[in-house]
């Protein structure tokens, strides 16, 4: 029980496997007597699903910690800058739209600015009034300049990326720079110790590979946690209905076509379409509920969405169908096995939480890596509590987008039925009728979605908060007006200083970003 944790075996590659390997290897030495040995076993036949092409700003810190050059990452992974998500036709379906920016509202910690914006809600949207970022996105502008050092920014940003190229890029870096062992082979058996821990995995060509901690990154298959340990899967289909996605790569009409600075999410009759701009192509897909629409009709909606931007001589032939089982495991760390990525759960691509959850999972494993087997169960308990909360928080936040819609199709109406709304979210919605979301609505450190995110969605969707008519001793209206005016000035300054996404990426290709 007191044997030290010295050997980590990661089963499965892709973004989950290689991010986990990189984050853990960057935290712990992999050489010498006191180093951690990290081995990643990857099947040579399993391709990356490649739907999760959007990241959060947390990816900047992750890549920097792993020791990756941002310039190399952008060029090698066909990556672009992502500053927000834009939601088209989610409110009523009548050409409406709003933004969820990555930057907090200006002056967020000085005053709950949402309270003061409400008096101006008919004149200006919440995002436009409180941040420059929505304005930058509308003009396709980048979040930084060519003179900005790597990972520095004028406006907070994450990335859009090619998931397949990202995995290959991480693999090369992890093996060459961080000392991770890479085994291309098929796992054919899982062997237990007498206490039920995994002792080793048997591979077809390389025999048994032993470890002290096993990380399951085998995707939806969940080979270790799901199939071997039979850890229950908690379905969320009754809350979030989408169970199918159709994904396709779409070429630009011209080589230098504009690249959107945000993910575009366009509501459909029974789901929504994502549109992600990379330098060489767009990644577009339709995620929907098979209970509300047929695959053929969903594909027709996808083709109708793409058609206006397609070259006349190009035919969409490689539309991939992906089945989604929305939900998560009842435990993520069991005995000496922890699941990271889709093996632990998946809901849907809305708000691109998949890569962020991989980052957070691997970060906690790296920073809380048990000294020995004796304390592992304590670490596992803490891990399971934290990530159960995080999955529930994701589900609530995604559901919020649906329950506020005024669309009339059965899918959207079904999303508003009380039995499909989590109890905690229903309580918050009642509370927010009379007070705006703020710091009391978030309880944990490293909260997935800050109160500002709830404000952007609530007020972007047209939610009304009726503040009680009570006089407060301290009048913050002057502070609020200054914040609004400062945002206008800051917006003008950035618009004049920043180039477009495409222009900046072309400059990076030519000159690279400064590393200082």
Under a CB-based contact definition with an 8 Å cutoff, are residues 365 and 341 in contact?
A: no
Question: Span 351-368, mean pLDDT?
Answer: 96
* Token pair recorded at residue 421: 């709304």
Phi-psi label, residue 314: left if phi above 0, alpha if psi -120 to 50, beta otherwise: beta
Q: Taking a C-beta distance cutoff of 8 angstroms, is the pair 90, 398 a contact?
A: no
Reported as a single tens digit per residue, the pLDDT across 146-192 is 999 999 999 999 999 999 999 999 999 999 999 999 999 999 999 99
pLDDT digits (tens, 9 = 90+) for 407-464: 999 999 999 999 999 999 999 999 999 999 987 877 666 778 999 999 999 999 999 9
Question: Over 70: is that where the pLDDT of 47 sits?
Answer: no
Instruction: Tell me the pLDDT tens digit for each residue of 253-309.
Output: 888 999 999 999 999 999 999 999 999 999 999 999 999 999 999 999 999 999 988
C-beta atoms surrounding 57 within 10 Å: 19
Contact indicator for 347, 394 with CB cutoff of 8 Å: yes
Nearest in space to 396 (alpha carbons), one of 267, 271, 236, 288: 236
Neighbouring-strand partners of residue 245: 287, 322
For residues 475-502, b (16+ Cβ closer than 10 Å) or e, as one string?
Answer: ebeeebeebbeebeebbeebeeebbbbb
Mean pLDDT of 119-148: 96
- Residue by residue, DSSP assigns 336-347 as TEEE-GGGTEE-
Burial (0-12, 13-18, 19+ Cβ within 10 Å), 473? exposed
* pLDDT(310) > 90: no
Cα 84 to Cα 55, 74, 105, 200, 453, distances in angstroms: 10, 18, 13, 43, 11
Q: What is the mean pLDDT of residues 127-131?
A: 97
Question: How does pLDDT run across 55-65, given as a tens digit for each residue?
Answer: 999 999 999 99
Tell me the pLDDT tens digit for each residue of 332-349: 999 999 999 999 999 999
Average pLDDT, the chain: 94
Closest CA to 2 of 378, 371, 381: 371
Q: Which fold has domain 243-323?
A: D-Amino Acid Oxidase; Chain A, domain 2 (3.30.9)
Does residue 48 surpass a pLDDT of 90? no
Token pair 């062997």 in the structure block, residue: 191
H or E stretch including 430? helix 423-431
Q: Is the pTM of this model over 0.85?
A: yes
Output the pLDDT for position 317. 67
pLDDT tens per residue across span 69-127: 999 999 999 999 999 999 999 999 999 999 999 999 999 988 899 999 998 999 999 99
For 280, list phi and psi in degrees, rounded to 5: -100, -15
pLDDT-based confidence at residue 51 (cuts at 50, 70, 90): low
Going by the DSSP 8-state scheme, the letter that residue 270 receives in this structure is T
- Residues in CB range of 324: below 8 A, 6 or more apart: 242, 243, 244, 245, 287, 346, 348
Is the model's pLDDT at 50 over the cut of 80? no
pLDDT of amino acid 346: 95
Summarize pLDDT for 479-490 with one digit per residue, the tens: 999 999 999 999
CA 26, chain centre distance (Å):
21
| Number of residues that make up the chain | 516
Q: Is 345 left (phi over 0), alpha (psi -120 to 50) or beta?
A: left
Domain ranges of the chain: 7-53+162-236+326-392, 243-323
With beta carbons less than 8 A apart as the criterion, state whether 334 and 317 touch.
no
CB 114 within 8 A of CB 232: no
In the prediction, which pLDDT does 470 show?
77
Report percent pLDDT > 70 for the chain.
96
The SS3 of residue 333 is: strand
Measured between alpha carbons, how far is 341 from 346 in angstroms, rounded to an integer?
8
Does residue 305 sit in helix, strand or coil? Answer: helix
**What is the number of helices (H) and of strands (E) in the chain?**
15, 21
Taking residues 207-223, what's their average pLDDT? 97
Please report the sign of the dihedral spanned by the C-alpha atoms of residue 425, residue 430, residue 436, residue 440: negative
State the burial class of residue 323 (Cβ atoms within 10 Å of its Cβ: 0-12, 13-18, 19+). Answer: exposed
Residue 36 has pLDDT above 90, yes or no: yes
- Residue 45 has a pLDDT of 81
The token pair at 331 is 């435990």
Q: Which pLDDT score, from 0 to 100, does residue 312 have?
A: 60
Give domain 7-53+162-236+326-392's CATH superfamily: FAD/NAD(P)-binding domain (3.50.50.60)
- The H or E element that residue 153 is part of is none
For residue 24, pLDDT over 60 is answered with: yes
pLDDT for 52: 52
């Amino acid at each position: 029980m007191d044997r030290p944790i010295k050997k980590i075996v990661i089963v499965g590659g892709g973004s989950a496997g290689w991010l986990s390997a990189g984050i853990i290897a960057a935290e712990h030495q992999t050489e010498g007597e006191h180093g951690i040995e990290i081995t990643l076993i990857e099947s040579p036949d399993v391709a990356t699903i490649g739907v999760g092409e959007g990241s959060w700003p947390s990816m900047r810190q992750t890549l920097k910690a792993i020791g990756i050059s941002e310039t190399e990452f952008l060029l090698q992974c066909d990556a672009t800058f992502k500053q927000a998500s834009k939601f088209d036709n989610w409110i009523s379906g009548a050409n409406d739209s709003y933004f969820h920016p990555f930057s907090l509202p200006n002056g967020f910690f000085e005053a709950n600015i949402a309270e003061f914006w409400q008096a101006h809600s008919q004149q200006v949207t919440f995002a436009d009034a409180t941040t420059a970022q929505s304005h930058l996105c509308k003009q396709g502008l980048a979040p930084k300049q060519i003179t900005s050092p790597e990972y520095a920014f004028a406006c907070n940003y994450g990335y859009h990326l090619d998931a397949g190229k990202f995995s290959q890029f991480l693999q090369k870096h992890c093996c060459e720079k961080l000392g991770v062992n890479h085994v291309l082979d098929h796992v054919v058996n899982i062997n237990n110790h007498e206490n039920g821990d995994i002792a080793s995995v048997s591979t077809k060509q390389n025999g048994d590979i032993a470890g002290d901690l096993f990380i399951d990154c085998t995707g939806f298959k969940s080979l270790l946690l799901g199939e071997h340990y039979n850890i229950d899967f908690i379905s969320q289909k009754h809350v979030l209905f989408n169970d199918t996605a159709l994904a396709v790569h779409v070429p630009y009409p011209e080589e230098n076509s504009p690249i959107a600075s945000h993910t575009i999410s366009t509501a459909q009759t029974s789901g929504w379409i994502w549109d992600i701009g990379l330098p060489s192509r767009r990644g577009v897909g339709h995620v929907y509920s098979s209970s509300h629409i047929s695959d053929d009709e969903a594909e027709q909606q996808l083709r109708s969405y793409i058609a206006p931007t397609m070259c006349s001589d190009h035919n969409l032939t490689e539309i991939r169908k992906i089945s989604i089982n929305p939900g998560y495991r009842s435990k993520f760390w069991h005995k000496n096995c922890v699941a990271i990525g889709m093996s632990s759960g998946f809901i849907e691509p809305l708000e691109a939480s998949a890569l962020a959850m991989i980052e957070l999972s691997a970060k906690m494993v790296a920073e809380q890596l048990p000294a020995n087997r004796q304390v592992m169960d304590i670490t596992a308990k803490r891990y399971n509590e934290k990530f159960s909360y995080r999955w529930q928080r994701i589900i609530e936040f995604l559901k919020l987008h649906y329950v506020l819609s005024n669309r009339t199709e059965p899918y959207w109406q079904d999303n508003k039925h009380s039995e499909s709304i989590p109890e905690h979210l229903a309580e918050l919605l009642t509370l927010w009728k009379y007070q705006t979301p703020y710091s009391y609505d978030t309880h944990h450190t490293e909260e997935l979605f800050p109160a500002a995110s709830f404000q952007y969605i609530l007020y972007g969707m047209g939610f009304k908060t009726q503040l009680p008519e009570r006089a407060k001793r301290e009048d913050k209206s002057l502070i609020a007006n200054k914040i609004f005016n400062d945002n206008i000035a800051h917006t003008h300054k950035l618009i004049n200083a920043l180039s477009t996404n495409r222009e900046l990426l072309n400059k990076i290709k030519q000159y690279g970003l400064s590393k200082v």
